[in-house]
Amino acid sequence: MAKRVLLVEDEKTLRGQLVDLLLRHGYTVDSAADAVSVLRKMGHLPDDVGGDSTAARVEATRRWLEVYAPDSKLRIEMNSALPEGLVTTQADRAVFRALASDLSGHVSGEAVLTEQEFKARIYQHIRDAELEQGPFFALAYEALLGRSSGPQLSSFLMSMADRAVPLLEAAAA
């Protein structure tokens, strides 16, 4: 499976050169000129929302996180392997397997999903497995982050799909 890269570069010529280079090395490349374009492309920002105010908010948030974010609360690091002793049921494993499949299809381009579509699938998989949402989300965050809570699961998984799929597959085994 080709690795997928999201390239954000405001200088058009440089962006084109980097895209060409990455393509030659076997990557699938999505590119954008700015953060607002990325947010729109990924379905996080509707077309009718102004880009100037959104760009300013994104930049202010980025600066705030760099300076003030307490490491233990807002900065997240994905596990490199499943935590020791993680206990899953057959139903949990079915949901992890379905999520890994959905994300793999998204990354490969076979079944590209918007964040809203993926979020709906997460909830549908949980319902299909007859699981309670809260305990499953806590288990998913434990598997992915080593803690019981985290960012919105659909956004997080889509933004970290290449690293999340192996963990989801391991949790499904």
Crossing angle of helices 90-108 and 161-172, in 10° steps, is 150
Q: Are 118 and 106 in contact (CB under 8 A)?
A: yes
Largest Cα–Cα separation, the chain: 51
Domain 90-172 -> CATH class = mainly alpha
Model-wide pTM > 0.75:
no
Partners of 8 in beta bridges? 32
- Give domain limits for the chain: 4-68, 90-172
Q: Could you read off the pLDDT of 1-47 as tens digits, one per residue?
A: 668 888 888 888 888 888 888 888 888 888 888 877 777 777 666 66
Q: What share of the chain is helix, strand, coil (3-state, %, to 5)?
A: 60, 5, 35
What 3-state class would DSSP assign to 31?
A: strand
Q: What is the pLDDT of residue 74?
A: 59
List, for residues 62-104, the tens digit of each pLDDT value.
776 676 665 555 567 889 999 999 999 999 999 999 999 999 9
